[in-house]
Structure 1
Amino acid sequence: MWESVMAFDEPAAIGAVVRALDEGMGAEDLLLDVIASVQGRVGREWAADRITVAQEHAATAINDRAVTALALHPSARTAPTRGRVAVACVDGEWHALPARLLAEVLRIRGWRVDYLGAQVSAPHLVAHLHRTGPDVVALSGSLATRLPAAHATITACQAVGTPVIVGGAGFGPGGRYARLLGADGWAPDARAAADALAGGPLPQVRPGHQAIDDLPHLKDQEYTLVARSRPQLVGSVFGQLADAYPAMRAYTEAQRERTAEDLSHIVEFLAAALYTGDEDLFCGFLEWTAGVLDARGVPAASLLPALELLGRELQDFPRATATLRAGAARLTRTPLTPAGTAE
């Protein structure tokens, strides 16, 4: 399967799936132990700069079509014997394959599944709940930057009486942010999610709770102000970065565009850390980014001037500046002063 996907040979990849099913391999095992594993390796190869973004997109598309081929195979078609589940991605979340895999596993297990795909807004999801009345919502999120949207969706679903189980890397190690945001359940993978739902109805944590009630630290407005000012912050820091990091002066236009994108991601993850009140969310993102940059021959130290400049822009925001200092310290293992310069 890996060789076929990396050769962009869709017929060969689908043929491998169909042959495995014909020869008796379980559809669920094929979904999670083969297709999902191949997709995970695709992501790692991209992070290590061994494949391009275009290659990653092409491989993901082939894997998605392989899932479709599997779903249409007679051995994977199961008559519904359980309840109804709505499977959706958090608003702003484009990584839809994990949710698709879960949807197919649940179908194989006998659930009636409404698969709503990528980027589903809370109002659209709630409208669907009113029309169809599913027993539970399964919400997928791969990016921690979508946690505020996930929180709004969880709250909206619970307000109409529908419990929510969540999963995906965006909800943090061990599902720590799932609990923080009041989800009724969390699962580390599709098998665990299917097992949890098979165990009976999810008891709602607190139906209809208001988002702000569980996150009192948001009352300082730092999250809101940083999130809303992201374009201005990125523009200001980008304009000053060439002086703080002279190597940037030799960047090509494409490199400058990627730098602006990286700055935007940094501010997004800073906002997510402020929303959750967890500095480690931001620090973990910086460490991952440093690894990606290193694979592309860009030193991790190139992130430090951007963090320093952001600290200056946000000097009146104590939680934000503390998070930026923690991130810089994680990269260098050297504490930074409040002004953002290395001691």
Structure 2
Amino acid sequence: MPFASRAGLRRVVAAAVAAPSVHNTQPWRFRRVDDTTVELYADLDRLLTVTDPLGRGLGISCGAALFNLRLAVRMTGHDPRVLPLPDPADRPELLATVRATPGGPPSADERLLHDMIPHRRTSRFPFDGRPLPRNVLVDLVNAAHDEGATLLLVKGGTARRVLDMVAEADDTLTADPAYRAELARWTRSESGPDGVPGHAAGPRPRTATLPMRDFTTTPLRNGTPPAAIPTTHLHDGAPGTRGFAVSGGPGGEVADFEADPQLAALFTRGDGPGDWLRAGQALQRVLLTATAHGVAASMFSQPLDLRPPQHRGDKAGPFGHVQMLIRFGYGPPVPRVPRRPVYEVLDRRGPRHA
């Protein structure tokens, strides 16, 4: 059984915690119940109370970790049986119970996605503008569908309108002192076990065509005085194929980003805790599939962060609710961001009792 030995349990959890998370907060904990069962908990001490009061971003982050955990269980020849939100009334922080049952050997596709876990990154660097081939786009769309979500490509004038909406939301959010303070809490000048280190920031766009968030001390686009502006994206680097020149001094690098970013929106039918967990699993399958194709990705969530809690979940379009905006392309290699050690997120004791 995958959770019977200390080494086996650590391998599975180590794969899970390699998932992306908002601000690299890593808002998860794992509890071994017995040789066949592990529980996934939200670490509410790492909830972004200003940006994410309902826990949407936290749920998506934990969903990404859950997908990695599922893949790691499959590598042992077991099937992960997932029960989402098994005790919402008494233990809302318990997001999922995963029970390993005997199964067949992993498929070639499962092995490939599992192999991509340590190589997946989130890149805030320029992409070279090459369009993704049709077969790659089809694979990305199918990856989301396999997890019960919808990935919709956003093109042309719609893409520009979406980016304008992201830019407007970014300016609004960063004008809020409480929001900036929360972002600053998770920004690291040096590498640490969590948060967003400087090497993951990337350069600032030379023009305003792409509203990438600025980690550095820089004026806002609307002319507000300088303020520290970290990011709300899911972070930890990205694969790539070509070098890109940047200019400027330390903390002030600028670069030319792609003129026509390739965007996609990830939808779920509903907009509650179960849907956020589903969105995270779909997002991670999409990102690992992109990594397997040598495609880099970054995420935009500013318009979703800006939505007041009382209005989240009440506006469904034909595809449902948008949970994440994703930018795809081919970019330079970037380093990973750190992870908390497994022992910090793993509780080997038996199940909690009421």
Same fold (TM over 0.5): no
Normalised-by-shorter TM-score class: under 0.3
Asked which structure has the greater CA Rg, the reply is 1
Higher relative contact order (CA 8 A, sep 6+): 2
Relative to the length of structure 1, the TM-score reads: 0.24
| Higher fraction of helix | 1
